[in-house]
Structure 1
Amino acid sequence: MAERQEQAAPDALLTRIGQIVMLHHGGDREEARDRLLGLWAELGEDGDPLHRCTLAHYLADTQDDPTDELAWDLRALSAADELTDGRSTGGGGDPVGVEDVGQEGAIAIRAFYPSLHLNLAADYVKLDRPDAARTHLRRARDACTVLADDGYGNGVRAAIGRLELRLGDGGGGAGGSWGPPRQRP
């Protein structure tokens, strides 16, 4: 019974995040940001890395300042890295790694990387840092091998392609209003 409750708790937090994201998509960016920040405070810097990754990934979307958006996207990447390199502890002091989340979870975690790097590339474009943008764009493209040939995977690959074209034309700056859509696994 206790094991079943432990498994339900992470789903509850992801559900809460999803509900707040719907609020954001409905147009209430400030309220969504405030609620996501409340969840971040509740979760804490040492909370479950998958939850921190997801939460930071969405918090980045609610930022008005590109520097703040970059900071949240970097937090999301750092949390994802904890999941894949075994540096994290899952609250009980035991390391958490891909092997701890099972095959399906491992694929889901790896599926975050194309979007994480794409978002970082877009952040760097907004900050007029084309070299950093290109670095993360290459990482996004390299990470796409785990994406399925479905709407999500095709959307991420298309956004990468659009940003590659943007950076390839010598533009690379923050000018214009273009940006890739925020893609989520």
Structure 2
Amino acid sequence: MARAGQAVMLHHGGDREEARKRLLDLWLEVGEDGDALHRCTIAHYMADTQDDPADELAWDLRALTAADSLTDERVDNHHAGLAVRGFYPSLHLNLAADYQKLGRDDEARGHLLSAQKSLGALGDDPYGDGIRAAVRRLGDELGL
């Protein structure tokens, strides 16, 4: 998780290629059947480093699949108080944005509705506020 965080910092610092390389190396190390929390995290951030919206979608789908196999116990062991349900607003928001970029607005709306339904899992904090605001903005764009 620390190495994934370092790759994310590279991405936020503007080195998208190196971040993508490091995340891919981590993905290959963890493997398709590796720890679900690691797969979810790596895929979630790997999506953000993609140039092609179809590739971004593929990585976001991997993140959602990994989240679906996570347990609250595993997540809480990583970070006390964290719950799997708190992952879904962001995961579905990202998928909605991916589908919108690809012109697949019906699928985008479906994931945005899932994001909206799961917003109650977010805290009243800057992270939660940011996700709620992004859901509202995309909802406005998609006519929801």
TM-score (norm 1): 0.73
The residue aligned with 1:65 is 52
The correspondence for 2:72, drawn from 98, 102, 105, is 98
RMSD: 1.7
The residue aligned with 1:167 is 142
Question: May I ask how many residue pairs the two structures share in their alignment?
Answer: 143
Contact 2:72 2:83 in 1 (8 A): no
The residue aligned with 1:144 is 119
The structure-2 alpha-carbon separation of the partners of 1:105 and 1:71, relative to structure 1 and needing over 3 Å to count, comes to: farther
Amino acid at match of 2:50: Q
The residue aligned with 1:117 is 92
Q: How does 1:24-39 map to 2 (within 5 A)?
A: 24-39=11-26
The structure-2 alpha-carbon separation of the partners of 1:80 and 1:62, relative to structure 1 and needing over 3 Å to count, comes to: same
Unpaired runs of 5+ in structure 2? none
Alignment partner of 1:153 is 2:140: no
Q: Could you report, residue by residue, the CA deviation over 1:72-96 in whole angstroms, capped at 9, with x for unpaired residues?
A: 000000000011xxxxxxxxxxxxx
Deviation at 1:107, TM superposition (A): 3.9
The residue aligned with 1:47 is 34
The residue aligned with 1:56 is 43
The correspondence for 1:82, drawn from 32, 50, 69, is 69
Q: Could you report, residue by residue, the CA deviation over 1:56-84 in whole angstroms, capped at 9, with x for unpaired residues?
A: 0000000000000000000000000011x
Per residue, is there more helix in 1 or in 2? 2
TM-score (norm 2): 0.93
Amino acid at match of 2:8: V
Q: Which structure has the larger Rg over C-alpha atoms? A: 1
The structure-2 alpha-carbon separation of the partners of 1:99 and 1:24, relative to structure 1 and needing over 3 Å to count, comes to: closer
Contact 1:117 1:140 in 2 (8 A): yes
Amino acid at match of 2:97: A
Tell me the distance in 2 between the aligned counterparts of 1:73 and 1:102.
22
Contact 2:64 2:91 in 1 (8 A): yes
Deviation at 1:128, TM superposition (A): 0.1
The residue aligned with 1:21 is 8
Q: Could you report, residue by residue, the CA deviation over 1:90-147 in whole angstroms, capped at 9, with x for unpaired residues?
A: xxxxxxx334555976743211100000000000000000000000000001111110
Q: Could you report, residue by residue, the CA deviation over 1:11-38 in whole angstroms, capped at 9, with x for unpaired residues?
A: xxx1110011000000010111011000
